[in-house]
Amino acid sequence: MTRSVTWDLVKKDWWLYRLHIVISTAAGVAALGLCFKGGEVAGVIGAVWIFTALVIVACMLPMSAIVNERKKQHLPFVMSLPVSVREYTAAKLVSSVGMFLMPWLVLVAATVALIEVRGFLPKGSIPFAVIVLLLPFVGFCLITGSALVGESEGWTIAATVACNSSYWLAWFLIARTPGLMELAKGNTPVWNGQLLWIVAGELGVIAGSLGLTFLLQSRKRDFI
């Protein structure tokens, strides 16, 4: 009889926050449509929109699914179920990442497809698109981790602000690295060592933040 209810919690989250998933995906797709239809200006606006949509989801989702669950006093209800802090955290991480991945995968795939098919950007920019779109995902994991470990709006907002500021810094650094931007203008996507390192770094931060979150959560002695 002692099965794990972690999956039930994940499904519960996906159902409770289904609107988030739908709206964010829809907004992103609308932005893509703009890139698809319009000219250069529309394309730029659309590109910014896509990025912004992801950034917004990265901020709102942890707020709704994690911080509010505590604020609105749903946490004792969840913890009254046969779960430990560890399982709760695992369920939250899985459900949150899942909810973010939905719009994210759609947007990344569509962006890559747009560049390939529609060519509104040279194909050499595909690796850069991936790197740039990975940034909100990294931010999302950091914000989610802060929301879970920090247990408050304050921590979550602090993490959000830190991440949002960092995106532009990251863009700036990439753009200024000698030799990289030339690759972007090329006609074929080139994944050289530097770009691969950057992606590895992003994935590393994602894995690291999720792992650290899990570790810190498990060590808590006063969960509620």
Partner 1 sequence: MNGLAIDLRGVGKKYKFFSLNRIHLQVPEGQIMGLIGPNGAGKSTTIRILMGLVHQDCGEAFVLGRRMPDEQIAAKWDIGFASEDMRLYDAMTVGWHLRFIASMFPGWDNAYAQVLLKRFGLQAEQVVRGLSHGQRVKAMLLLVLARKPKLLVLDEPTTGLDPVARHEVLRELTAVMKDEGRTILFSSHNTHDVEQISDTITFIDRGRIIDSMDKEMYLDRWRRLRLEVPSGERLPALPGIIGVRQEGRLAILTANAFEPGLANEYESRGARVQAIETMTLEEIFVANVERSRVDCGEEVEA
- CA–CA separation, 121 vs 177, rounded Å? 20
Give least dist CB 224 to partner 1, A: 5
Q: Of 79-87, 92-100, 162-170, 196-204, which part binds partner 1 (CB under 8 A)?
A: 79-87
Quick one: 30 or 224, whose CB is closer to partner 1?
Answer: 224
Residues 38, 41, 43, 45, CA torsion sign: negative
14-53 positions binding partner 1, by CB under 8 A = 16
* Residue 123 vs 220, nearer CB to partner 1: 220
Q: Is 74 in the site for partner 1 (CB under 8 A)?
A: yes
Contacts of 25 (CB under 8 A, 6+ apart): 102, 103, 106
Among 151, 163, 131, which Cα is nearest to 59's?
163
- Candidates 22, 26, 33, 76; binder of partner 1 (CB under 8 A) is 76
**Applying CB under 8 A, does 168 fall inside the site for partner 1?**
no
Largest Cα span, the chain: 60
Least Cα distance to 121 among 173, 179, 184, 172 occurs for 184
Minimum separation from the CB atom of position 79 to partner 1 (A): 6
- Residues 205-224: x where in contact with partner 1 by CB under 8 A, - otherwise, as a string: ----------------xxxx
The residues, any chain, with a CB within 8 Å of residue 133's CB and separated by 6 or more, are 50, 51, 54, 104, 107, 108, 111
- At residue 19's C-alpha, the angle toward residues 17 and 23, to 5°, is 135
**Does the protein bind partner 1 through residue 176 (CB under 8 A)?**
no
- State which residue, 74 or 118, has the beta carbon closest to partner 1: 74
Q: What's the min distance (Å) between Cβ of 80 and partner 1?
A: 4
Residues that bind partner 1 (CB under 8 A): 1-2, 5, 8, 12, 16, 72-74, 76-77, 79-84, 87, 221-224
